[in-house]
Amino acid sequence: MSWFKVYLTYEQAVPNGYIKLQKDFYKLCIENQTPQGMALYSDRYEWDEQVFFPFYFSPGSVQFAKTLISSYSGNSCEQPKKEYLKLLVGRPVDFDLLK
C-alpha cells in the first residue's frame, strides 16, 4: 500500500477545515479501534505566495479512510519526510512509520 496526500489551501484549512478533516479521521480511528499504523500527519509550506497544508494518510489508514481521502481529492504519494511532519491522529509509535 502507498501513502496518500490531501492538500488544503489556507482558505480551506482556516479556521475549521483542518479540524473537520482531523475529527473525521479520528472518528474512523475510534470506529476501527485505532489499529496500529492508522495515522494522519500534517505539514505546512508556502509556494508562490500561497500557504498550503498537506495532510498525509499512512498506508495502514487507507483501508479505513478511502472515502474520506476521496472526498478531499487525495492522491497517492511518496512517503513524507519525518522532520517536517506532526502526528495529528494515531498512536505515538506511529511516528516511527516515518523515516
Taking only the tens place, the pLDDT of each residue in 36-94 is 899 999 886 656 666 778 899 999 999 999 999 999 999 999 988 888 788 889 888 88
pTM assigned to the model:
0.86
> What's the rounded mean pLDDT across residues 19-31?
92
Cβ count within 10 A of residue 91: 16
d(CA 24, CA 41): 14
Q: Which residues pair with 55 in a beta bridge?
A: 6, 42
Specify the pLDDT at position 40: 94
Give the residue among 6, 11, 44 at the shortest CA–CA distance from 25: 6
Provide the grid cell at 8: 488544503
Cβ(40)–Cβ(25) below 8 Å: yes
Residue 92 DSSP code: G
Specify the pLDDT at position 67: 96
Find where cell 472526498 sits.
71
> What structural domains does the chain harbor?
3-90 (3.30.70)
Residue 77 DSSP code: E
Cβ count within 10 A of residue 12: 16
